[in-house]
Amino acid sequence: MSLFAIGDPHLSLSVNKPMDVFRGWTDYTDRLAKNWNAVVGEGDSVVVPGDISWAMNFEEAKKDFGFLHSLNGTKYILKGNHDYWWNTMTKMTKFLDENGFDSIKIIHNNAYSVEGFAIGGTRGWFYDDSEGDVNKVILREAGRLRASLKAASELGGQIIAFLHYPPINEVQRCDEILNVLKEFDVKRCYFGHLHGFVAPGCAKIESEGISFNLVSADHLGFTPRLIAP
Contact 107, 121 (CB under 8 A): yes
Pick the CATH number of 3-228 from 3.30.300.90, 3.40.50.2300, 3.40.50.1100, 3.60.21.10: 3.60.21.10
Strand order in the sheet with 210-214: 111-114, 117-122, 159-163, 188-191, 210-214, 204-207
Which residue stretches of the chain are H helix? 28-39, 58-70, 89-98, 134-155, 175-183, 200-203
Q: What percent of the chain has pLDDT above 90?
A: 86
Instruction: Decide the pairing of beta strands 225-228 and 74-78.
Output: unpaired
| Statement: residue 228 has pLDDT above 90 | yes
In this prediction, residues 116-120 reach a mean pLDDT of 97
Mean per-residue pLDDT of the chain: 95
Q: What DSSP designation does 95 have?
A: H
pLDDT of residue 49: 98
In this prediction, residues 114-128 reach a mean pLDDT of 89
Contact 64, 53 (CB under 8 A): yes
Say which residues have a Cβ less than 8 Å from residue 59's Cβ, sequence separation at least 6. Answer: none
Question: What pTM, to 2 d.p., does this model score?
Answer: 0.96
Nearest 5°: the CA angle 13, 122, 199 is 75
pLDDT of residue 126: 75
pLDDT of residue 91: 98
Number of residues written out for the chain: 229
